[in-house]
Homo-oligomer: A and B are copies of this chain.
């Protein structure tokens, strides 16, 4: 594994400029605030290899799909995260010569992502083709405290000459998506305005008519003194700029402070966009860059207080886990329940749509433990709001009732178009049901069930009811034609995980129904007036729960991933010539499908979710059978194995699995970080630490901890928010120190013994 970035506990440091690593660094050093995000592109022109990316959360484009052979039921469009107005642009000319690092001799270069305070910092000294040398120091951030605001401090100093400096600050909406299916551009101009010192640009998407408005203001400071110059203005299609020409002397610094405000029609009336944007801009401008940056540092300090993990004795691991927590916090803040977590966050275009089952399976546990309850709740409500679309989706696929949530979505409609996934990877419905259970189990917020949860559960249950059928030869309910979490098998019958999560959903739905009938009868009546659940339906659900078919091998004592799994040629990954790995880059698809090799936890995903329903020996037998057949070619795979291994006391295995994702993007492990970071899998890494090494569970409303220290770590600590308490849990080789950083007392269990920690108290437990 290569290590490109320097190790530092709070910063990601690129030292020296390597054009071939530029897109990776652009991804890794991306900045975002939940409302918008920006890859670590250069402010000045760059003619080398780059992926320009500026994204506004929730602003997407329904691109025309591209399929080989159309199948009935395919969606008409593929929703794409949209590359939006470039608001960072500052072109520099020195005596008429453009500063472009692709054409300079670079004498020194750093690009640093400061995770503690939430900004990007770049410095370089570059010799232009003419021999003139300049020194640049550029800082920028998108504000956590003021979500519309992006601010840049860009400083330039002539090193070996005095001359004319031309600075062009611009807003450019004439951008495109690299992954546009037919090379189309997606934006139209609505309006623009530019005068000396400020500019605004409004663009709209060619479809769906999202409007985005960016405004900018700037100051120029030379040798510490703000100067007033009249800027030349340029207007082109979807483009506005100000150009300032200055004389500057050798060794003297010129700084441009560029402030931008970026708003969208998702949040404001279209007619108000310019006003709203300008108002926010003016406030930020008046506050000034340094004050804004201080505000930013404080906001990040608050985030770290709730979510930091500290690892002693392993700086590389420390950097890795902080990077993951930082990116997750940049991507989703939980303030807008219309948003969700894209697989690449704000770091790239790839995978288009914003929401996968990753959210429910991997991200919700992170937000549950590190943010207010409302954040996870909003992620659940997001799906509640898509329930009607999910019902339409089920209808479209020929079901008479029920809801099938999409595999990939922006607005609740399916965007994916590969039949074996779109139509068959239906276990996603189970994860959405499970997330409700998980949320209520963690928070104790049973009110959610009556408010939102039961409707979703009922409609998912109705889907499962129709999706199974009774197989006469087996005398059981079966489910044919599915793709399990292991996408290296398609269109199989009786995927154990899918059968299990389906039956579990039915069972849980009945349980919730009984709870509501008893505890919230009025609400239940109200709900049932809407849902009209018939007695026959409930009877059928019970019958399915009682008579679901689960493929298993009694001799081996394992569940079978699907019918006839053991008919496959059984080879272990360790016995495979490593030149075959990763399989998805070396093998044709049919060969992958025929093999016994598993992409990511499948049977084990079920045993992980439903751990409380299985004894350790059952889990161990399945783990020992399946893990050696698993190639972990999804970034979502190792964390589940790490947590299960930790639970089973297989500490080395747990650590080995943890290492496979903890620095996935920092070390560009899969050679694809240039497309963006694996944002959702970062939550899995967090889970490996907290649920795995920390052994954290919630059972019967109580927090349970069964920690151990992995690898060569000296100690580690993590933060957990649980039912009103904020705990710092520090695991050392001698003891477990629980610091209650809130006012509220909490009772928890450690290695099976129960303790109470009062508000603002610290408890030391010898381990």
Contacts and interface: CB of A to CB of B under 8 A. Distances in A.
A538 to B, nearest CB: 23
Interface string A52-89: 00000000000001111101110000000000000000
A590 B397 contact: yes
B589 A493 contact: no
Contacts of A747: none
Given A68-B66, A473-B567, A397 B588 contact: yes
Contacts of A423: 588-590
Given A474-B567, A567-B493, A72 B593 contact: no
A765 interface: no
A364 to B, nearest CB: 26
Interface stretch (A579-587, A632-640, A703-711, A735-743): A579-587
B71 A588 contact: yes
A469 interface: yes
A488 to B, nearest CB: 11
A480 interface: yes
A491 interface: yes
A396 interface: yes
Contact of A419 (B182, B417, B590): B590
Contacts of A190: none
Contact of A68 (B65, B471, B490): B65
Interface string A554-572: 0000000001101111100
A268 interface: no
A597 B289 CA distance: 68
A523 interface: no
B68 A424 contact: no
Contacts of A586: 72
A481 B592 CA distance: 10
Contacts of A592: 72
Copies in the complex: 2
Given A182-B182, A478-B567, A73 B588 contact: yes
B68 A417 contact: yes
Interface in A489-503: 490-491, 493
Interface string A406-435: 000000000001111001100000000000
Given A567-B480, A567-B493, A590-B419, A584 B72 contact: yes
A529 interface: no
A67 B418 CA distance: 10
A398 interface: yes
A594 interface: yes
A473 B565 CA distance: 10
A472 interface: yes
Contacts of A419: 589-590
Instruction: Bin chain A's interface residue count.
Output: 35 or more
Interface in A439-472: 469-472
A105 interface: no
A478 B565 CA distance: 13
A223 B585 CA distance: 73
A480 B68 contact: no
A396 to B, nearest CB: 7
A18 to B, nearest CB: 28
Nearest to A69: B418
Nearest to A474: B567
- Dominant secondary structure at the A interface: loop
Contact of A398 (B490, B570, B588): B588
A515 B417 CA distance: 51
A207 interface: no
A63 B38 CA distance: 36
B588 A480 contact: no
A584 to B, nearest CB: 7
B72 A585 contact: yes
Contacts of A206: none
Contacts of A585: 72
A185 interface: no
A250 interface: no
Nearest to A563: B564
A591 interface: yes
Contacts of A66: 66-68
B491 A591 contact: no
- Which of A65, A478, A481 has the most chain B CB atoms inside 10 A of its CB? A481
Interface string A341-357: 00000000000000000
Contact of A566 (B418, B472, B588, B589): B472
Contacts of A570: 472
Interface in A589-603: 589-594
Nearest to A588: B73
Nearest to A182: B182
A470 B69 CA distance: 34
A662 B591 CA distance: 40
Contacts of A569: 469-471
Interface in A71-123: 71-73
Interface string A589-622: 1111110000000000000000000000000000
Interface of A: 65-69, 71-73, 182, 396-398, 417-420, 423-424, 469-474, 478, 480-481, 490-491, 493, 563-564, 566-570, 584-594
22 contacts: A66-B66, A66-B68, A67-B67, A69-B418, A71-B588, A72-B585, A72-B587, A182-B182, A396-B588, A398-B588, A419-B589, A420-B491, A423-B588, A423-B590, A473-B566, A478-B567, A480-B593, A480-B594, A491-B491, A493-B564, A493-B567, A563-B564
4 cross-chain pairs, A with B, having the tightest CB-CB distances, nearest first:
A73-B588, A423-B590, A471-B567, A71-B589
Given A480-B593, A480-B594, A563-B564, 10 more contacts: A72-B586, A72-B592, A73-B589, A397-B588, A472-B570, A473-B564, A474-B567, A480-B568, A481-B593, A491-B593
